[in-house]
Structures are given as C-alpha cells and as structure tokens.
Structure 1
Amino acid sequence: MLGIQAIGTYLPAQRNGNAELAEKFGFAVDFLESKIGVFSTSVKDEGDETSDMALKAVRSLQAKLGESFDLASVECLALVTQNPDGYGLPHTSAILHGKLGLSARCFAFDISLGCSGYVAGLAIIKGFMQTAGFKTGLLVTADPYSKVIDREDRNTVLLFGDGATATLISENPVWEIGAFDMGTVGETCQALIVRDNGKLEMNGRAVFDFCATQVPGSVTRTLEANGLGIDDIDLGVLHPGSKYIVDTLAKRTKLKNIARGVETYGNTVSSSVPLLLENVAPDTTKCILISGFGVGLGWATTILRSTL
C-alpha cells in the first residue's frame, strides 16, 4: 500500500511585508485580515533557483527521518513546478536529481501544474509507482512565483510567496491516499497567465468564481467516491488562494475545521497544501480532505486517512 510517509518543507527566511503595500495600493489594513489573509510573503534567497529550493526541502525531509531514510532507495522523483530552472530544459527534476546524487536507476520527471499540482501529483506518482513496481518515491513541489510577480500589480503582489516541499511516498505510510476527483475548465485558463513580458496577470473575479462554483461539487464527489460524509472529515486542507476564497468554500462545503496558517508566507501555489499538512498530527486527526485549485483553471481533491 503506497501512501505518504513524511513531508519535509522549506520556507525562505526573507519576507516582504504587506502593510506598506496595502497602503500604497489604497487597501485598508482590515482588508488584509478579512479578504487576503496574508500579512507578509516569503521570497527566495537571491541566486537560488527552483532546484535549490527543492533541494532544501529534501534536506529537511532527510533531517526529519534521519538514518531511516536512504536516498539510494528512491526509485522515482517527480517535481511539480511551472517556474523551472532556466528555460525548463533540462527539466528541473533532472537538475535536482544531480544535486541529490540519486541513483541512475531513479527516474526523474516534472509535472507542469500550479495550485492543483500537489494533490494531482499524489495521483500521478502513486499510479506511476504502482505501474512500475516501485516502492519508494519523492514528490517535490517548488514554484517560486517571485520570478514572475510584478511588484506594481496590486492583484498578485500581496498574495504569492515562495516555498518548497518534499513528500516521501512509500509502503510505510502515515497517510493512506483515497480516491480522487479532478477537472479542468480550460476555456477560462487565461484568468491566471504569464504574459509576453514575463509577468503574472490574474483576473481575481474569474478565479474566485471558478473556485466558488467548482470546488464544492468536487468535495461532494470526493466524499461519495470514498464512502464518506462531511461529518467524517476531521480537517479540510484547502488551497489558500485567499482568506476570502477559503472562507467562502468552508461555508459552501460545510467543512467544520479548516487548516489555517499562511499569514506569514502567503500562497505558495503547489507547495501550499503540503506546507499545511506537515504539522497535522495523524494520531489525533484521522481523516483529511485536501483540495488544490487554481491555475489552469483546474482542481484536484482527495482524502487522506491516518494509518496510526
């Protein structure tokens, strides 16, 4: 049975404060609290590439597991990013593979997904490992949006932060991975787009409408696919697009307990869900619903059950 054994994370120490930016753009301070929910955003170290952030997340995972985790046992490495090293060739997972000194028998590949990337990545790597007969894999997320953020764009600069995570997928899981619900509304994909100038542009209203209309149905279908009701869920980990989006979805899905905690580092795209998952105690929290949604515009939702 393949599942999540452990999660390592990396958040850069540097922060950009939002209070001054809010004043600059004419936002009241209480707008940060009630709508955005982010008071500072994390920014990668100068000179760090995407693979460097990913490397630090894997090192965090190694430190957490100690001698029980041998990199030589890793048979596949999947890296979720839409902001790769350089121009994306070679793929960033191959660069990370080299920096880690992984075995030549370890296959490395990138997954070009954003906010849905971690949850969808769980399905991708689990299915890949089952097909290949692998027992140990790494799912890494690293998507530094500071590469594409326009510091003069009030729609994005207050939201997005940099972070990276590394999840060990093995036959000794702490979390079992359940059935999935996924989808894409490609006709509205340009609501989040990097333009020819290399900068991110977001239609906030279109993104909110997508989340508010598509995610509740995904939650319902995921519960049905896993034979669960809403009262069986101990914790909901919803992608923190903004506080207003999460609050809206909490009401529409009737999830009673929602993970919080991105106020000091922001929306880290594919790293957002695993960053929130890292500190969830599997001995007391037995059933989690996780959902990532945004760029694409797409979503992915599943259930995690504690094995403890």
Structure 2
Amino acid sequence: MIGIKAIGSYIASNRVSNIARKQDAGKDEAFIRDKIGFESLAKRDAGQETSDLCVAAHEALKAQPAFDGSAIDCLIVCTQNPDAHGLPHTSAVVHRKLGLGHDVACFDISLGCSGYVYGLSMITAFMAANSLRSGLLFTADPYSKIIDQQDWDTELLFGDAATVTWLGEEPVYRCRPAMFGTDGSLGHSISVAERGGRLKMLGSNVFKFSMTEVPAQIQRYLEREGLSQDDIDLFLLHQGSRFIVDNLARKLGLPPEKAPFEAGQTGNTVSSSLPLLLENRLSSPPARILLSGFGVGLSWATMALESLIDTHNTTRG
C-alpha cells in the first residue's frame, strides 16, 4: 500500500510584520489578529526560486532516519508559480538540483490551495498504476512573485513556504478516495490576468464560496465514506485566514481544537498550508484526519487520512 511516510518543510526565514504595517494598510491590530490572523508573513530571499524552496524542504526530509533518497522513482511538484516561465518544468529542475537518477518520473501540476489533496490522490494512483515504490510530492507557491505590495487585499495574506511529502510502502497514513469540486465561472475571484501581472482577489466571492461549497462537500464526503464527524479526530482546513477557518469550524459545529488555525506567523502558504499542518501530527498520528483544501479555480477538495500506526508504533494491520 502506498501512503504518507514523512513530511519535510521549509518556511522562508524572512518575516514581514503585519502588525507593524497596520497603519499603512488602514487596519487596526484587532482586525489583523482576529480576522486576517496573520501577524507576520514568511518571505523568500530575493532571487530564491520555487525549486530552491523545494530543495530546502527536501533537506529537512533527509533528516528523517528511514529516508532513502536513492530509491526515489517519482517526483511531482504542485505549483502555479514555477521557475522562470515554466520551461523546463520545475520538477525537472528539482530533479537536477537533487542529483537524482534517470529512472524517475517527474511532472508538475498546476493547482493552488486545493493542490495538496489533488496531489496526494494523483501521486498515490500514479505510483500504484506504474508499480513505483518511493515518491516525493512537493508543494511550493511563492506568491511574493505575483503580489502587488500596494494591494492590501492580498499583501497582508500570503507567505512563502514549501513542503515535500514522502510516499511509499509501510506508511503512517493511507489516503482514502478524495472528493473534488470546481467552479470555473468564478475563477476570476483569485487570478492573474496576464503574464507578468499581479494577483487580484475578490474577497467576498472567496468567503461566500468557502462558507457554502466547502462545508457542503465535507458533509457529502463524510456521508459517502460512511463516516460521522465524531469519526474524525482532526479537521485540517486550508489556512486561508483565521476568519475563514473559525467560521468554517462554526459552520460544521466543530470545537476550535478540532479545526486549528496555526498560520499566524507564516501567512497563507497556498498548497503548503495543509502539509504544514499535517507534518506536526506524524510523530503521534491521530487515527483519522480530514483534509480540506479550497481556493484558486475556484477549486475545492476533501480527503480522509487513516493512520496505520498506533500510539505505540505498531502496525494496525
């Protein structure tokens, strides 16, 4: 069975304080802390490419004692902000920088905040279909490449980070089948209109979609999978803002501890927000986690993860 074995991450080391910029942004401190939720944002160094963020996340993964980089036979990068103009594909650039062998399947997928759920579904199916045994799923979307620093509707939200999820046999978590949704008619709600342009976002559209389509899909997913909310130990929701996470939790009737907001010092890291949340749970894995990613597209996706390791590190069977 192919599933999640470990996660490595890299959060850009530079920090920009939203609190310090509150007057420039025309916001008060309570709004930044309680609504946006991002007190500071992680920002990449000038010249630091998407592939560089991926390589830094891989360095963290290499610290895992069981990780064997020589066995990698699949590498996928989820990004909508690739190196240069996307030629060659960023996964090939990462492949070169990691010095991997030639017998490795490499490709990119272009998705934003739903990308981790899509990516898990794609890489597990791709590996199983092609008898691959050890794969890497990278997420890296440095939105600092496309942000207008004078647009406070976006400048206060996004941080730069990358993650890499190692998938293979004898995993910590298996991925149950996912559920997906798309509304391309609202794609203009989070968009870059032209090559070299800046990100524009219609916040009211995004919030309304987050409060309607996302909880409805979560409920349909639980029904389809024969699960109740009580069967889920932890709901990991895309960290779009504290306001969105808190209101989604209330909409679903969840206590705050079951739907945490933990991005206050990093910002919305797009496709990396879910694996950053999940990374901290792998050492003592909850039995069942629900992932919900939603955003650019508009796109949304839900997946349940089931632990194959009990608290005493023995296989459940």
Whether TM-score is above 0.5 comes out as: yes
Q: Which residue of 1 aligns with 2:115?
A: 117
Shift of 1:284: 5.4
- Distance in 2 (CA, whole Å) between partners of 1:200 and 1:57 is 25
- Distance in 1 (CA, whole Å) between partners of 2:29 and 2:178 is 38
Alignment of 1:40-189 (within 5 A): 40-63=40-63, 65-66=64-65, 68-189=66-187
Shift of 1:251: 1.1
1:91-119 CA-partner distances (Å, limit 9, x unpaired) = 00000001111111101000100000011
For structure 2, which runs of at least 5 residues remain unmatched after alignment? 310-317
Q: Does 1:301 align with 2:302?
A: yes
Alignment of 1:164-243 (within 5 A): 164-196=162-194, 197-243=196-242
- Quote the sequence identity (%): 48
Q: Which residue of 1 aligns with 2:266?
A: 265
- Distance in 1 (CA, whole Å) between partners of 2:254 and 2:108 is 32
Query: Tell me, what secondary structure is at the counterpart of 2:197?
Result: coil
Larger mean CA deviation between 13-22 and 109-118 belongs to 13-22
In the superposition, relative to structure 1, how do residues 129 and 281 fare at CA in structure 2: closer, same or farther (>3 Å)? closer
8 Å CA contact 2:238, 2:292 repeated in 1: yes
- Distance in 2 (CA, whole Å) between partners of 1:45 and 1:14 is 7
Shift of 1:254: 2.1
Query: Tell me, what secondary structure is at the counterpart of 1:128?
Result: helix
Query: Tell me, what secondary structure is at the counterpart of 1:109?
Result: strand
1:229-283 CA-partner distances (Å, limit 9, x unpaired) = 0011111100011111111110112233112210001000000000111111564
- Distance in 2 (CA, whole Å) between partners of 1:169 and 1:222 is 23
Query: Tell me, what secondary structure is at the counterpart of 1:19?
Result: coil
8 Å CA contact 1:25, 1:154 repeated in 2: yes
- Distance in 2 (CA, whole Å) between partners of 1:72 and 1:38 is 38
The CA RMSD over aligned residues, in Å, is 1.1
Query: Tell me, what secondary structure is at the counterpart of 2:153?
Result: coil
Displacement over 2 Å in runs of 4+: 281-284
1:44-95 CA-partner distances (Å, limit 9, x unpaired) = 12221000000010111011x13x2221211110000000000001000000
Could you tell me which amino acid in structure 2 is paired with residue 258 of structure 1? A
Shift of 1:20: 2.7
- Distance in 1 (CA, whole Å) between partners of 2:33 and 2:264 is 9
Query: Tell me, what secondary structure is at the counterpart of 1:90?
Result: coil
- Distance in 2 (CA, whole Å) between partners of 1:268 and 1:25 is 20
- Distance in 2 (CA, whole Å) between partners of 1:253 and 1:78 is 32
Alignment of 1:277-296 (within 5 A): 277-281=278-282, 283=284, 285-296=286-297
Could you tell me which amino acid in structure 1 is paired with residue 300 of structure 2? W
For structure 1, which runs of at least 5 residues remain unmatched after alignment? none
1:134-162 CA-partner distances (Å, limit 9, x unpaired) = 11110000110000111100110111000
Could you tell me which amino acid in structure 2 is paired with residue 211 of structure 1? S
- Distance in 2 (CA, whole Å) between partners of 1:139 and 1:304 is 16
8 Å CA contact 1:79, 1:142 repeated in 2: yes
Shift of 1:210: 1.0
TM-score (norm 2): 0.94
- Distance in 1 (CA, whole Å) between partners of 2:74 and 2:163 is 16
- Distance in 1 (CA, whole Å) between partners of 2:284 and 2:138 is 24
- Distance in 2 (CA, whole Å) between partners of 1:108 and 1:259 is 33
How many residues in Structure 1 have an aligned counterpart in Structure 2?
A: 306
Larger mean CA deviation between 290-299 and 243-252 belongs to 243-252
1:28-59 CA-partner distances (Å, limit 9, x unpaired) = 11001221000000001222100000001011
8 Å CA contact 1:15, 1:43 repeated in 2: yes
Shift of 1:226: 2.3
Query: Tell me, what secondary structure is at the counterpart of 2:226?
Result: coil
- Distance in 2 (CA, whole Å) between partners of 1:288 and 1:32 is 29
